[in-house]
Amino acid sequence: MNENDIMMKAENSNRTRIIGLRLTPGEYATIEKKWKSSDCHKLSDYVRHVLFNKPVTTTYRDQSTDDLMAQVMVTHREVNAIGNNFNQVVKKLHTLQQLTEFKQWYAEYQIHRRILSTQIETVKNMMQKLIESWLR
């Protein structure tokens, strides 16, 4: 434990007084939105920082970038699944004994290769959009 942690623990142990505060749903929503955009993990910490004029670090979230990142994550999972399927197909190709089996697995390989190529192109396009949005 460093000195700051010890001070915070001592400070927290002395907190015996409670303040009750009633808010309208709109007021609470406003405070909650500001709290969630801050680096405070607890609402009480955020309110304490604001009341005592302590610095609060807030972040600005760009909705279009958030949407793009969500798309990238979905595509990432899909590419991983396709890659797993592709690896299974290649592994099976190495163990085949008969020509008919080989043809069947080769056809499946071609399908997965096309899907993978499409997903890779999608990822490239998303990354290009992300780069362009960061450069603005």
Q: What is the pTM of this model?
A: 0.41
Q: How many residues does the chain have?
A: 136
Tens-digit pLDDT profile for residues 12-67: 678 888 888 899 999 999 999 888 888 888 999 999 999 898 988 877 666 677 77
Spatial distance between the Cα atoms of 11 and 4, rounded to a whole number of angstroms: 10
Rounded to 5°, the CA angle 86-94-110 comes to: 35
Angle (CA) 117-93-97 rounded to 5° is 155
Reported as a single tens digit per residue, the pLDDT across 98-133 is 777 777 877 888 888 888 888 888 888 887 887 777
- CA angle, residues 125, 128, 132, in degrees to nearest 5: 140
The pLDDT, as a whole number, for residue 130 is 78
Our CA angle for 107, 113, 117, nearest 5°, is 150
**Within 13 Å of residue 109, how many CA atoms lie on the same side as its CB?**
14
Instruction: Taking the CA atoms of 126, 127, 130 and 131 in sequence, report the sign of the dihedral they define.
Output: negative
What would the two tokens of residue 86 be? 């592709």
Under 8 Å between Cβ of 67 and 126: no
How far is 57 from 6, CA to CA, in rounded Å? 22
DSSP state of 38: B
